[in-house]
Amino acid sequence: MAEGGLHSRFRLAREIAEEASSFLLSHESLRLSTRTKAENDYVTEADRAVEGMIRQSIGRAFPGDPVYGEEFGGDTGGRSRWIIDPIDGTVNFMTSFPDYTVSIAYEDEHGLAFGVVAVPRQHEVFSAFRGEGAFLNGSQIHTDESGDTSRTLALLVPPHRHHEMLDGYIVRMRRFYEIISDVRSIGSAALSLCYVACGRASMYYETALHIYDCAAGIVIVREAGGMVTLLSDDEAWLDIAASSAAAHRKMLETIDG
């Protein structure tokens, strides 16, 4: 696809993310209508409503574009497709914890082309287009490349849906405490990646993600100067390590032990 076509999709993605944010802020009561999809995995009326809105807007502007989304599925393997997660951080949304996001990405034959992550409660929108840098509310952002990680945060997410993996997580977390100041887990993969991109954290590690959790955030980290390693290649089970470029080798060694 010509760059012009990609850029118009990028513009649309930013508009949709803003619309979805306004919708979520004015419909937070939908957090109360919740269904369980799998163990420790929930969906609210808002997740479905927002994915429906996003699909409609894409379909109106670019009829025929394949879309892969968490709630209504779709194109899992195509080379050119939208990848959307209407609410990344559903448990946060359900519990009124403010860190939930709307995540929209586009992938073409060269890989991930752009990503937009909106954070309604914070009134923040992170975005990046391949080769053009990463931005937070229009200002360019960069990973923290100071090199000294001893005063930084690592976002290490417990395997909350795979409790049999918790012991390994705790051993790894102990190793991380040798190289960083403290650990957080903020409940949204997309937001975690954005926080690495803008230097609020220097590292993010999580296992067993889906591509829609992290596609937009991956572009944003890379365009902010950071590095992302996918330690598995199944888009329904992605183990992901993201960090500043300066800290990446140290991070991978810490994961491996």
Q: How many CA atoms lie within 13 A of 111 on its CB side?
A: 6
Please tell me whether residue 194 binds ligand IPD under the rule CB under 6 A: no
Among 216, 218, 203, 211, residue whose Cα is nearest residue 249: 203
Adjacent-strand bridge partners of 241: 205, 229
Taking CA atoms, 80 is separated from 57, 114, 140, 239, in Å, by: 17, 12, 27, 23
Please tell me whether residue 99 binds Ca ion under the rule CB under 5 A: no
3-state secondary structure of 109: coil
Out of 44, 90, 152, 243, the residue judged to bind ligand IPD by CB under 6 A: 90
d(CA 86, CA 105): 11
Partner whose binding site includes residue 202, from ligand IPD, Ca ion, none (CB under 5 to 8 Å by kind):
none
* Backbone CA torsion sign across 7, 12, 18, 24: negative
Name residues contacting ligand IPD, limited to 91-150 (CB under 6 A). none
Residue pair 46/93 in contact by the 8 Å Cβ criterion: yes
Please tell me whether residue 157 binds ligand IPD under the rule CB under 6 A: yes
- Report the nearest approach of ligand IPD to the CB of residue 206 (Å): 6
Please tell me whether residue 254 binds ligand IPD under the rule CB under 6 A: no
Please tell me whether residue 85 binds Ca ion under the rule CB under 5 A: yes
The residue whose two tokens read 């513009």 is: 11
Q: Segment near ligand IPD (CB under 6 A), from 10-18, 109-117, 187-195, 228-236?
A: 187-195
**In this complex, which beta carbon is closest to ligand IPD, that of residue 187 or of residue 199?**
187
d(CA 5, CA 57): 16
Q: Segment near Ca ion (CB under 5 A), from 85-93, 120-128, 192-200, 241-249?
A: 85-93
Out of 67, 209, 238, 241, the residue judged to bind ligand IPD by CB under 6 A: 209
Partner whose binding site includes residue 157, from Ca ion, ligand IPD, none (CB under 5 to 8 Å by kind):
ligand IPD
Out of 44, 127, 188, 254, the residue judged to bind ligand IPD by CB under 6 A: 188
**In this complex, which beta carbon is closest to ligand IPD, that of residue 34 or of residue 229?**
34
d(CA 233, CA 211): 10
Among 88, 87, 92, 94, residue whose Cα is nearest residue 32: 94
Q: What residues line the site for Ca ion (CB under 5 A)?
A: 70, 85, 87-88, 213
Q: What residues line the site for ligand IPD (CB under 6 A)?
A: 70, 85, 88-90, 157, 187-189, 206, 209, 213
